[in-house]
Structure 1
Amino acid sequence: MTKNFPAADGFDPRAFRAALGCFATGVTVITAQANGKRVGVTANSFNSLSLDPPLILWSLGKTSSSYPTFEAASHFAVNILAHDQIELSNQFARRSDDKFAGLEVTEGAGGCLLLPDTCATIQCKREQSIDGGDHWILIGRVTAFDNSECAPLLYHRGTYSMARPHPQVAAS
């Protein structure tokens, strides 16, 4: 059953979060390093912003302990996870002293960190950070990217999902 939450009834953050969960997103791990520290966070707040110039954006909670490193880093990488990388997503979603333990990462432009076997990677020069309420909105200028033919990992209604062609499209 659909519920309507008009502004006059007050704002329910849990109901709002459930409504946002109706929008299926890809799952990324955003990585960077600066001042001898490597950071990575699982994020589904990633979007393209502009093709000319090539810009992307993503957001990070203001309470994140990773923010000072992302702010100090000149570059960061968006690692778009493949459908079989749920454990990698969970590894970077949990608090840990070394989220990179057991991984062979490659350094990209400006020292950004590229994870193995992802669906795609997008290397960015940090362009701008903007105040976005309880999050920072980080904008990056794309310096390099690559992609594979593997299916992406998705997040929808609070759980992991997979993409598949719609029957109406596949039939045409």
Structure 2
Amino acid sequence: MSITSSPKAAAVVDARHFRDALSQFATGVTVITTRLPDDSFLGITASSFNSVSLNPPLVLWSLAQSANSLPVFTGNSHYVINILAADQAALANQFARPSKNRFEGVEFTLSPTGLPILSGVAAWFECHNRSRYPEGDHVIFVGEVECCDVSPQEPLIFHGGRFLSE
């Protein structure tokens, strides 16, 4: 067996090349929701979601340190992770774009702690904001799942810079 290096490998990781390589990993798409101090709601699209532990039930997601919503998510005790269904690409886009009211026209119910659970999602997790870890240009949030539910829908998948349903 002979080992050779890849001719495309770079000694220093270029940000665009790194992003292109990451895009080859298919991910689900989530909308993380919580409440603002004025009792209105905040929601953001995130694809950086993963399970951590079954006992206790822990999940993680990350948010850019430059995000305007970072202080809200850092300071709140709870949030809901909504796993979008395959037919919810428009919702992913709606919550990814800057807007005064991302919830305009969005149907939802309230979780046990009064946070938005988007209608029609494939699954949702209400989490206690257990811990946060600044790493690089993001903050990793670890949430302890207090309740969750699942529906028999296919999830929305993001791969190669686009939704697979497109």
Is this a same-fold pair by TM over 0.5? yes
> Which residue of the partner structure matches residue 16 of structure 1?
18
Matched pairs, number? 159
Q: 1:62 to 1:75 in 2, by over 3 A?
A: same
Q: Which runs of 5+ in 1 are unaligned?
A: 163-172
Q: Which runs of 5+ in 2 are unaligned?
A: 1-5
Offset at residue 3 of structure 1 (A): 6.0
Deviation track 1:138-171 (CA, whole Å, cap 9, x = no partner) reads 1100001111111110000100015xxxxxxxxx
Whole-angstrom CA distance in 1 between matches of 2:22 and 2:10: 16
Which structure features the higher share of helix residues?
Answer: 1
Aligned pairs (5 A) from 1:34-53: 34-36=36-38, 37-53=40-56
> Which residue of the partner structure matches residue 29 of structure 2?
27
Matched, 1:4 2:11: no
Aligned pairs (5 A) from 1:1-172: 4-7=8-11, 10-36=12-38, 37-162=40-165
Which residue identity is paired with 1:30?
I
Offset at residue 72 of structure 1 (A): 2.0
Offset at residue 29 of structure 1 (A): 0.4
Q: CA RMSD in A?
A: 1.4
Offset at residue 79 of structure 1 (A): 0.4
Percent of aligned pairs with the same amino acid: 44
Which residue identity is paired with 2:85?
A
Offset at residue 107 of structure 1 (A): 1.8
Whole-angstrom CA distance in 1 between matches of 2:110 and 2:71: 20
Deviation track 1:16-41 (CA, whole Å, cap 9, x = no partner) reads 10100110000110111131242111
| TM-score when normalising by structure 1 | 0.88
Whole-angstrom CA distance in 2 between matches of 1:34 and 1:121: 20
Offset at residue 5 of structure 1 (A): 2.3
